[in-house]
Structure 1
Amino acid sequence: MPYWLMKSEPDELSIHDLQRLGTARWDGVRNYQARNFLRAMQPGDLFFFYHSSCPEPGIAGIARLIGEPYPDPTALDPQSHYHDAKASAEKNPWSARDVEFVEAFARVIPLARLREQTVLAGMPLVQKGSRLSVMPVTEEEWSGVLALR
């Protein structure tokens, strides 16, 4: 089974929000490479839920993809922070996915700690300047992160 990591700002959607809701829409991805990864994910794939742009960025838990990708409605909403003036109902380049809660970690695994792990050295997340919001995770990296919880 492929593994992934997806980033969310906790004031938009946190692991605890997802835990409370059970399921939610993952939207607002506005990078083509990240969008392509989002589209490549399969129902049932697991991903690390990463809290970004917050006082303590890090991996906060695990969630699962449900359903297939669909056009991201936030791209068409002028009131949305993720609105894309070039998108239309006929031609919306952005995708959204539905996700479900699996597990919240007792504590967030901070980015600084992730960067210290040799097994994670090749992970785009720990690379300087990497801002990708959706990325694949190898089985070895997945196991390495799980060992830190």
Structure 2
Amino acid sequence: MAYWLFKSEPDVFSFDDLIAKGDAGEEWDGVRNYQARNNMRAMKKGERGIFYHSNVGKECVGIVEVVAEAHPDSKAADPKWECVDIKAIQPLARTVTLDQAKVEPRLKDMVLVNNSRLSVQPISDAEWAVLMELGGVD
């Protein structure tokens, strides 16, 4: 199973907003970066990810699941832009900040640590395990 990180500004769309969407989840729309779009094209239904609050907080806050694979972004005029749908699974017991990730040696190669601007990015199995440990998830 692959793991992913989804970044959102919490004052625009927060993890609590995703929780409020329930099991139907929400379209992860508005992505206008080819690498991020291609990451979404690689996602499979059932894969898990981290919801990351960018700008305000700069922290991993919850676990999400892909509930619909790549499809046209309903808010894009150009059909080349695609998105997936995700739903909230659970909040992390403890948030994991970008500063924590940057000083954690086991996360030194994580995309978030090295390219914090990419809005949708992969997480390795080992990185996922570290994030779960730091986030207090069994």
Same fold (TM over 0.5): yes
For residues 67-86 of structure 1, the aligned pairs below 5 Å read 67-76=68-77
Give the C-alpha shift of residue 104 in structure 1: 0.9
Give the C-alpha shift of residue 42 in structure 1: 0.3
CA distance in 2, matches of 1:11, 1:42: 28
Stretches of structure 1 that go unaligned for 5 or more consecutive residues are: 77-86
Deviating beyond 2 angstroms after TM superposition, the runs of 4 or more aligned structure 1 residues are none
Give the C-alpha shift of residue 9 in structure 1: 1.2
Residue type at the aligned position of 1:75: A
Give the C-alpha shift of residue 106 in structure 1: 3.5
117, 127, 134: which one aligns with 1:141: 127
Could you state the TM-score of these two structures normalised by the residue count of structure 2? 0.90
For residues 1-149 of structure 1, the aligned pairs below 5 Å read 1-22=1-22, 23-54=25-56, 56-76=57-77, 87=78, 92-127=79-114, 129-149=115-135
**Mapped contact 1:15–1:61 kept (Cα < 8 A):** yes
**Mapped contact 1:44–1:65 kept (Cα < 8 A):** yes
Give the C-alpha shift of residue 109 in structure 1: 1.4
Please give the secondary structure, in 1, of the residue aligned with 2:46: coil
CA distance in 2, matches of 1:130, 1:12: 18
Bigger CA radius of gyration: 1
Cα RMSD for the two superposed structures? 1.2
CA distance in 2, matches of 1:7, 1:59: 9
**Mapped contact 1:35–1:95 kept (Cα < 8 A):** yes
CA distance in 1, matches of 2:80, 2:12: 22
Residue type at the aligned position of 1:67: A
Taking only the aligned residue pairs, the percentage that are identical comes to 42
Stretches of structure 2 that go unaligned for 5 or more consecutive residues are: none
